[in-house]
Homo-oligomer: A and B are copies of this chain.
């Protein structure tokens, strides 16, 4: 009995840690929006995302993109024209977030119906 309870507690702890790992990556006011922007269009430039994610500043976009790059969710490609063009793409690993994005999209709609609208 004690063993069973401990197992449950341990599994629970691991699940909590896993969820937290995800949230650490996805936190920040704009992260999900930035991912969505790139995700749907597949190949986006800095200025495209800037326009797409309403309200974000270039300073913030730069920061968020860097963090996403560090976490290997986004790939940055410089095209050395003049002036410079930079392309952002989701990596394969980044694309695995689509399930979560879709869940969040559906839930967001349902939640708005339930709470925000009425």
State the A residues within 8 Å of B (CB).
12, 15-23, 25-27, 32-33, 36-37, 40-41, 52-53, 71-72, 93, 96-97, 99-101, 103-112, 114-116
- Knowing A32-B23, A99-B107, A104-B23 are in contact, say whether A40-B18 is a contact too (CB < 8 A): no
Task: Tell me, rounded to whole Å, the shortest Cβ–Cβ distance linking A112 to chain B.
Answer: 5
Task: Tell me, rounded to whole Å, the shortest Cβ–Cβ distance linking A35 to chain B.
Answer: 9
Task: Tell me, rounded to whole Å, the shortest Cβ–Cβ distance linking A90 to chain B.
Answer: 14
Sample (6) of A-B pairs whose CB atoms are under 8 Å apart: A16-B33, A18-B108, A19-B33, A21-B109, A21-B112, A22-B104
Contact of A99 with B103 in the complex, beta carbons under 8 Å: yes
- Tell me, in angstroms, the Cα distance from A101 to B72 when the chains sit together: 22
Contact of A104 with B19 in the complex, beta carbons under 8 Å: yes
Contact of B105 with A15 in the complex, beta carbons under 8 Å: yes
